[in-house]
Amino acid sequence: MRTGGAVAFASMLLLTESVIAQQITAVVSAGDFKAGIAPLGIASAFGSLLSTVTAPATKLPLPSEISGNGLAWCDVTSDPGMTDCLAAHLFFVSPGQVNFLIPPVASASVSHQFAVMPILNGARIGPVFLVTIQSFAPRVFWVGYDCLTDTRFLHANVNCGLTTIKTDEAFQSTRGAVTDQNGMVLSSAHRAKLGEPYTIWMTGLGQAQNGALVYPPGLTISNVPVYGYSGDTYIYTPLLYAGQSPQYEGLYQLNFILPISIAGSSDPQRYPLFPCGNYDWEVSLDITQGTGFSQAHANLIQIPIHVTKGDVPCAQ
């Protein structure tokens, strides 16, 4: 009896420890892994023992479980008993991270508080994690750090090539998922050209009505992103398209033409106006959504541009 009691007690302790360890510790945007999520955006839940397998979704539409693993999404403001929860659609599951699609909500429910819980073998397990979603939380998908490609500046061409490690706080560019029409990401190995079309891949732009985003985003480009001052030329760039991408749920795209006028400067002594010859340039993409106090900025990223003689008028 004593042995059996000891075994039962030990089993109870192991079960208790497992339940305590099995929890979500953060829910963030999958774009840059920082706080801020919106309806129909892609989010990442981090924690421990969130899944029994490590696996991506392998079909569309997205599944609500992968090998019996998933996430429950509950509106605790309108349903405090959590009796009418949704199973979130999944992109990827693993013991430490689950990427999922935030369900749509009615406009009046955007400020509601929601609970997220892991599901294992069809059962909700562990304590709830409470989150609040925003109407919009724009995020460009981050792809890494890169060198400054503009050779006219100190510290240019340091640590070229995409890396996840930031080694130079002041003189490294931040790259995001910005691609050309062939789907190639812009980086020091593949630079943009003035006047060409490009696509920014994002999440967190919120819901749409009749095919149009409720809160349209805007794009501003600065020609001097990281050299110790804020920049000389800011160009509001019209978007050719801003909306949901047909590839995946929760994925948005912004299509634009890189304007030739960005190569100018209001201070030729400090930053030459249309330099002649072949050279490289860096610009920052500032994406905003909303107005006034409710305006949100996406994570700031830079793209490299290669200018060839004849691309722009130049000062002799």
Q: Are residues 124 and 16 in the same domain?
A: yes
Confidence at residue 313, expressed as pLDDT on a 0 to 100 scale:
67
Q: Are residues 160 and 281 in the same domain?
A: yes
Q: Are residues 153 and 296 in the same domain?
A: yes
Which segments within 30-111 are labelled E, that is strand? Answer: 42-48, 55-56, 69-75, 86-87, 89-93, 97-101
Q: Are 221 and 253 in contact (CB under 8 A)?
A: no
Q: Is residue 279 part of a domain?
A: yes
Average pLDDT in the 130-158 region?
86
Confidence at residue 233, expressed as pLDDT on a 0 to 100 scale:
63
Confidence at residue 100, expressed as pLDDT on a 0 to 100 scale:
97
* CATH of residue 26: 2.60.40.10
Q: Is residue 314 part of a domain?
A: no
Q: Is residue 239 part of a domain?
A: yes
Q: Are residues 165 and 34 in the same domain?
A: no
Q: What are the pLDDT digits (tens) for 163-192?
A: 999 887 777 889 999 999 999 999 999 999
**Domain end point (choices 71, 98, 132):** 132
Q: pLDDT category, 52, cuts 50, 70, 90?
A: very high
H or E element: which one contains 174?
A: strand 172-176
Q: Is residue 106 part of a domain?
A: yes
Q: Are residues 83 and 204 in the same domain?
A: no
Q: What are the pLDDT digits (tens) for 146-159?
A: 988 876 666 667 77
What CA–CA distance (Å, rounded) separates 99 from 30? 7
Tell me which residue range forms the domain holding 182: 139-307
**Domain end point (choices 132, 149, 174):** 132
Task: Pull the structure tokens for residue 108.
Answer: 């009046």
Kindly tell me if the per-residue pLDDT of 83 is higher than 50: yes
Kindly tell me if the per-residue pLDDT of 137 is higher than 60: yes
Kindly tell me if the per-residue pLDDT of 9 is higher than 70: no
What CA–CA distance (Å, rounded) separates 72 from 119? 7
**Domain end point (choices 84, 112, 132):** 132
| Predicted model pTM | 0.87
Nearest one of 44, 50, 8 to 29, comparing CA atoms: 44
Q: Is residue 274 part of a domain?
A: yes
Q: Are residues 101 and 231 in the same domain?
A: no
Q: Are residues 128 and 148 in the same domain?
A: no
Q: Are 168 and 234 in contact (CB under 8 A)?
A: no
Q: Are residues 104 and 154 in the same domain?
A: no
Q: Are residues 45 and 79 in the same domain?
A: yes
Query: Which stretch, 9-18, 38-47, 102-111, 117-126, has highest mean pLDDT?
Result: 38-47
User: Over the chain, what is the mean pLDDT?
Assistant: 84
Torsion sign, CA atoms 76, 78, 80, 82 = negative
Q: Are residues 103 and 247 in the same domain?
A: no
Q: Are residues 126 and 144 in the same domain?
A: no
Q: How far is CA 41 from CA 3, 29, 37, 61, 77, in A?
A: 53, 8, 7, 15, 20
Q: Is residue 312 part of a domain?
A: no
Q: What are the pLDDT digits (tens) for 192-248?
A: 998 999 999 999 999 988 888 999 999 998 865 444 444 456 788 999 999 999 888
Q: Are residues 128 and 144 in the same domain?
A: no
Average pLDDT in the 302-309 region?
88
Report DSSP state, residue 134.
-
Q: Provide the terminal-to-terminal Cα distance of the chain, rounded to the nearest Å.
A: 97
Q: What are the pLDDT digits (tens) for 252-296?
A: 999 999 988 776 554 555 444 556 778 788 888 999 999 888 899
Q: Considering its fold, how many domains does the chain have in total?
A: 2
Q: Is residue 315 part of a domain?
A: no
* Percent of the chain whose pLDDT exceeds 70: 80
Q: Is residue 225 part of a domain?
A: yes
Average pLDDT in the 38-44 region?
96
What CA–CA distance (Å, rounded) separates 138 from 98? 20
Q: pLDDT category, 19, cuts 50, 70, 90?
A: very low
